[in-house]
Structure 1
Amino acid sequence: MADRGAGAGRTGLPASIEAAWGLRERPAKGPKPGLSLDRIVGAAVAIAAEEGLPAVSMGRVAKALGVSTMSLYRYVAAKDELYVLMQEAALGPPPPAPRDADWREALTAWARAQREVLLSHLWALRIPVSGPPATPNMVAWWEQGLVALETTGLDDGAKISVILLVSGFVRSEATMMAELDTAVRAGGTPEEFMARHQNTLARLADPDRYPSVARLLGSGVMTQPDEPGYEFAFGLERILDGVAVLIEGRRADGEG
Structure 2
Amino acid sequence: MNADLPPGLRSLWDLLDHPEPAPRPGLSLARIVQAAVEAADADGLDAVSMAKIAERLGYTPMSLYRYVNSKNELLLMMLDAVAAVPADLEEPCPDWRTGLERWCDAHWRMLRAHSWIVHLPVTGPPITPNQLAWTDRALAALHPTGLAEADKVQIVLLIATYLQATARLAAELGQSARGESIAAYSTLLGELVDGRRLPALRAAIDAGAYAYPGDMLPEERGLDYRFGLARILDGVQALIPPVLS
Query: What is the CA distance between 1:241 and its match in structure 2?
Result: 1.0
Q: TM-score, normalised by structure 2?
A: 0.84
Return the alpha-carbon distance in structure 1 between the equivalents of residues 113 and 69 of structure 2.
27
Query: What is the CA distance between 1:200 and its match in structure 2?
Result: 2.3
Return the alpha-carbon distance in structure 1 between the equivalents of residues 151 and 242 of structure 2.
12
Return the alpha-carbon distance in structure 1 between the equivalents of residues 230 and 194 of structure 2.
34
Checking the alignment, whether the CA contact within 8 Å between 1:154 and 1:247 is kept in structure 2 is yes
1:33-112 alignment, distance < 5 Å:
34-95=26-87, 96-112=89-105
Return the alpha-carbon distance in structure 1 between the equivalents of residues 99 and 242 of structure 2.
20
Corresponding residue for residue 134 of structure 1: 127
Return the alpha-carbon distance in structure 2 between the equivalents of residues 139 and 113 of structure 1.
15
Corresponding residue for residue 21 of structure 2: none
Q: Which amino acid aligns with 2:55?
A: K
Q: Which amino acid aligns with 1:146?
A: L
Q: Which amino acid aligns with 1:12?
A: D
Summarize deviations over 1:105-135 as a string: whole Å, max 9, x none: 1111111111111111111111123222211
Q: Which amino acid aligns with 2:48?
A: V
Checking the alignment, whether the CA contact within 8 Å between 1:94 and 1:141 is kept in structure 2 is no
Query: What is the CA distance between 1:82 and its match in structure 2?
Result: 0.6
Checking the alignment, whether the CA contact within 8 Å between 2:44 and 2:116 is kept in structure 1 is yes
Query: What is the CA distance between 1:151 and its match in structure 2?
Result: 1.7
Corresponding residue for residue 161 of structure 1: 154
Using a 3 Å threshold, how does the CA distance of structure 1 residues 247 and 82 change in structure 2: closer, same or farther? same
What is the SS of the residue equivalent to 1:131? coil
Checking the alignment, whether the CA contact within 8 Å between 2:190 and 2:205 is kept in structure 1 is yes
Corresponding residue for residue 147 of structure 1: 140
Summarize deviations over 1:133-168 as a string: whole Å, max 9, x none: 211111111111111111211111101011011111
Checking the alignment, whether the CA contact within 8 Å between 2:8 and 2:67 is kept in structure 1 is no
Corresponding residue for residue 117 of structure 2: 124
* Structure 2: gaps of 5 or more residues: 16-23
Query: What is the CA distance between 1:236 and its match in structure 2?
Result: 1.5
Corresponding residue for residue 202 of structure 1: 190
Return the alpha-carbon distance in structure 1 between the equivalents of residues 223 and 72 of structure 2.
35
Q: TM-score, normalised by structure 1?
A: 0.81
Query: What is the CA distance between 1:93 and its match in structure 2?
Result: 2.5
The percent of aligned pairs where both chains have the same amino acid is: 40
Corresponding residue for residue 169 of structure 2: 176
Q: Which amino acid aligns with 2:13?
A: W
Return the alpha-carbon distance in structure 2 between the equivalents of residues 101 and 251 of structure 1.
14
